[in-house]
Amino acid sequence: MISVTSLSSYLYCQRKLFLERVLGLFELPKAALIKGTVRHETYDLINKGEEALVRSITKLILFEELNAKYRREYDRMLRETIIKNKQQIIGVELLPEDLFMQVLPLIRNEAGTRSKQLFDFFSKHNVFGEELWQKLTPKILSEQKIDSPNLGLKGIIDQIEVYGEEYVPIELKTGKCPKEGVWPGHRIQVAAYALLIEDFFKKDVKEAFVNYLDSQERRQILMNQFLRLEVVGLIDKVKSLLSRYELPGLSGNENKCCMCSLKDKCFDDAYLKKLLEDKKSKTLNIRAPT
Ligand code: SF4
């Protein structure tokens, strides 16, 4: 079974996917990766803590009071995530307190949005506590892991917004956001999550979103049959790439290669040839009958 991230990696650079998944080469963690991990883990805590937070609102309160409660909780969650990842943060030469201050505006913004939605909801429907939680939509499922033997695909979905019978996958992304729409790899990634949801929950998914956290942009992808077929075709291409012992060509994109931490190994033909031969003979030995 292949992972959804392999699909976007394939679109980014087939050779890199091959180096990582077939030859076992890997990138050292970079600052951007650690920052992304901290953001993801904080959002995961936020989603998991939502139910308790909503249930704790048992009577009408002022918006300012609700917002302060959200901010306190989210700040605590960010602090907890920073402490948990302290060694990795220091390992990429970042200061934990600097990273805290970098991520803080993002989660403060999220606290503002969610507390406003909740305030509007209970002010309008006059429900609180358990009833408020039961009636509140959407509910958010976080870090949902789905394996689909039917598709030969597996993935962990950052968020699924559930509106009654409707399921909407959401992918959280840090980094630059395109002028319009989403980056090609992100489009395939959320479309693949939509297929996993359709297979697992037996629901049609009509749309998916990529949330670009740094720019606070939420971009929509509409699902259709062409996109579904594109994902299925890509799954076959990735399977084929990973099952062959043929090194794909270079990406042909100088910018990508410049930023790639595997470039030294990638450009060393003799090293890669030897690695490939070793891998091949090991696999053949394992497969050979005793
Ligand atoms: S150096 Fe370029 S071709 Fe090689 S793996 Fe990295 S991005 Fe791909």
150-181 pLDDT, tens digit per residue, is 999 999 998 999 998 999 999 988 888 999 99
On whether both 106 and 188 belong to a single domain, the answer is no
CB atoms within 10 A of CB 183: 19
Whether the CB of 25 sits within 6 Å of ligand 1: no
Report yes or no on 183 lying in a domain. yes
pTM (predicted TM-score): 0.86
Report yes or no on 289 lying in a domain. no
Whether the CB of 263 sits within 6 Å of ligand 1: yes
For residue 234, give the CATH number of its domain: 3.90.320.10
Question: Which residue, judged by its Cα, is nearest atom 7 of ligand 1?
Answer: 257
On whether both 153 and 228 belong to a single domain, the answer is yes
Listed residues 89, 110, 135: the one ending a domain: 135
Whether the CB of 16 sits within 6 Å of ligand 1: yes
Comparing CA positions, the residue from 194, 212, 213 lying closest to residue 203 is 194
CB atoms within 10 A of CB 196: 26
On whether both 59 and 130 belong to a single domain, the answer is yes
* Res 66: pLDDT: 98
On whether both 144 and 88 belong to a single domain, the answer is no
Spacing, Cα 251 to ligand 1 middle (Å): 6
Whole-number Cα distances in Å, 120 to 24, 138, 185: 51, 14, 36
Mutate to test the pocket of ligand 1, among 10, 11, 256 (most ligand atoms within 8 A of CB): 256
On whether both 85 and 127 belong to a single domain, the answer is yes
On whether both 201 and 227 belong to a single domain, the answer is yes
* Res 30: pLDDT: 80
Whether the CB of 71 sits within 6 Å of ligand 1: no
On whether both 149 and 119 belong to a single domain, the answer is no
* Res 283: pLDDT: 75
* Res 290: pLDDT: 52
Q: Which residues pair with 162 in a beta bridge?
A: 139, 167
Listed residues 135, 156, 175: the one ending a domain: 135
On whether both 98 and 177 belong to a single domain, the answer is no
Spacing, Cα 26 to ligand 1 middle (Å): 12
* Res 288: pLDDT: 56
Q: How far apart are CA 246 and CA 18, in angstroms?
A: 9
Spacing, Cα 72 to ligand 1 middle (Å): 43
Say how many domains are in the chain: 2
On whether both 47 and 112 belong to a single domain, the answer is yes
Spacing, Cα 273 to ligand 1 middle (Å): 16
On whether both 231 and 164 belong to a single domain, the answer is yes
* Res 36: pLDDT: 85
127-138 confidence digits (pLDDT tens): 999 999 999 988
* Res 287: pLDDT: 60
Report yes or no on 261 lying in a domain. no
Report yes or no on 189 lying in a domain. yes
* Res 64: pLDDT: 97
Whether the CB of 219 sits within 6 Å of ligand 1: no
Taking the alpha carbons of 23, 28, 32, 36 in that order, is the dihedral positive or negative?
positive
Listed residues 135, 157, 188: the one ending a domain: 135
Q: How far apart are CA 71 and CA 57, in angstroms?
A: 15
Spacing, Cα 151 to ligand 1 middle (Å): 28
290 residues of the chain, pLDDT tens digit each = 999 999 999 999 999 999 999 999 987 678 888 988 998 899 989 999 999 999 999 999 999 999 999 999 999 999 999 999 999 999 988 999 999 999 999 899 889 989 999 999 999 999 999 999 999 988 888 888 999 999 999 999 989 999 989 999 999 888 889 999 999 999 999 999 999 999 999 999 999 999 998 888 999 999 999 999 999 999 999 999 999 889 999 999 999 999 898 999 999 999 999 999 998 888 766 665 55
Q: Residue 77 belongs to what domain range?
A: 31-135
On whether both 180 and 113 belong to a single domain, the answer is no
Report yes or no on 281 lying in a domain. no
* Res 32: pLDDT: 82
